[in-house]
C-alpha cells in the first residue's frame, strides 16, 4: 500500500469513531440517533446535555487533528516535498470517516467539528476566517446550519486568498472537496432554510 492509501485508511478509521453516539449511550443509556435531528454531532448531543455536547465537539475535532498531524510528521520525515499533500489526504478522509462511519451503517455527522480539527494545523488563517464567518452568521441570522454552510464554503477561498496552503495546489483541492462534502451533508438544512422551517439557535437550546 502506498503512503496515501495507508493515510486515507487510518484517517478514515480515526474519523469514524462516533464519539457523540458513544457518550450519550454510555452516560445516559440512550441512542442519540433517535432524538432531535438524529445526528451524532455536537449540536444534537448538546440538546441532551450541554456538557456532553462540548465534549463531543472537542473529541470530534481531535479525531481529525491527530491523524493530520501524524501524517504531516510522517510526510516530512519520509518525503518532505509531499508532506502537506499527504496531510491533506488525512484531513479529507477523517471528515469522510465522521460523515460515513462504518460502525453506524455509514450514517454519521455533518463533518463541521472534524473538519475544523483536521484543517486547523494545516491552514490556521483559513480556519480562523471560517470560525469568524460562522460566529457572524449565527449572531446575525441565528441559524447554526447557515453558519456551518457559509463557513465551509468560504474556507478554501480564504485559504487561497491568504496564501494559507503552503504552495501546495493539492491542498486547495482537498480543502474544496472537504467543503463540498460538509455542504452536501447539510442539504436537508438547506431545504428547510429555503422553506423557512429551519430551527433557530436559542441560548441554552441549540
Q: Is the pLDDT of residue 78 over 90?
A: no
pLDDT value of residue 143: 95
The string of pLDDT tens digits covering residues 103-135 is 999 999 999 999 999 999 999 999 999 999 999
pLDDT value of residue 79: 67
Pairwise CA distance, residues 54 & 69, whole Å: 22
pLDDT value of residue 37: 85
Mean pLDDT for the stretch of residues 96-106:
97
Q: Is the pLDDT of residue 197 over 60?
A: yes
Whether the Cβ atoms of residue 90 and residue 174 lie closer than 8 Å to each other: no
Burial of 78 (0-12, 13-18, 19+ CB in 10 A): exposed
User: Does the model's pTM come out above 0.85?
Assistant: yes
Cα-based distances in Å from 119 to 40, 50, 100, 136: 21, 25, 19, 20
Stated as kind and residue range, the H or E segment containing 152 is helix 144-161
Closest CA to 119 of 72, 68, 83: 68
pLDDT value of residue 80: 62
- CA 89, 90, 93, 99 dihedral sign is negative
The string of pLDDT tens digits covering residues 17-44 is 999 999 999 999 999 999 888 999 998 9
Pairwise CA distance, residues 144 & 55, whole Å: 18
pLDDT value of residue 206: 43
Q: Is the pLDDT of residue 1 over 80?
A: no
Amino acid at each position: 500500500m502506498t503512503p496515501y492509501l495507508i493515510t486515507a485508511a487510518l484517517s478514515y478509521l480515526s474519523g469514524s469513531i462516533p464519539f457523540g453516539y458513544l457518550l450519550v449511550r454510555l452516560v445516559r443509556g440512550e441512542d442519540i440517533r433517535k432524538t432531535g435531528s438524529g445526528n451524532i454531532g455536537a449540536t444534537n448531543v448538546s440538546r441532551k446535555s450541554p456538557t456532553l455536547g462540548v465534549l463531543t465537539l472537542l473529541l470530534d475535532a481531535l479525531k481529525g487533528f491527530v491523524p493530520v498531524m501524524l501524517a504531516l510528521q510522517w510526510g516530512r520525515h519520509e518525503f518532505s516535498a509531499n508532506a502537506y499533500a499527504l496531510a491533506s489526504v488525512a484531513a479529507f478522509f477523517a471528515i469522510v470517516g465522521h460523515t460515513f462511519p462504518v460502525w453506524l451503517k455509514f450514517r454519521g455527522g455533518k463533518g463541521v467539528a472534524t473538519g475544523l480539527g483536521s484543517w486547523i494545523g494545516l491552514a490556521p488563517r483559513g480556519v480562523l476566517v471560517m470560525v469568524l464567518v460562522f460566529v457572524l452568521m449565527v449572531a446575525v441570522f441565528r441559524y447554526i446550519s447557515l453558519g456551518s454552510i457559509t463557513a465551509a464554503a468560504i474556507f478554501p477561498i480564504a485559504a487561497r486568498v491568504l496564501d494559507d496552503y503552503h504552495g501546495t495546489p493539492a491542498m486547495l483541492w482537498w480543502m474544496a472537496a472537504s467543503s463540498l462534502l460538509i455542504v452536501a451533508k447539510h442539504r436537508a438544512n438547506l431545504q428547510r432554510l429555503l422553506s423557512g422551517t429551519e430551527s433557530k439557535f436559542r441560548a441554552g437550546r441549540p
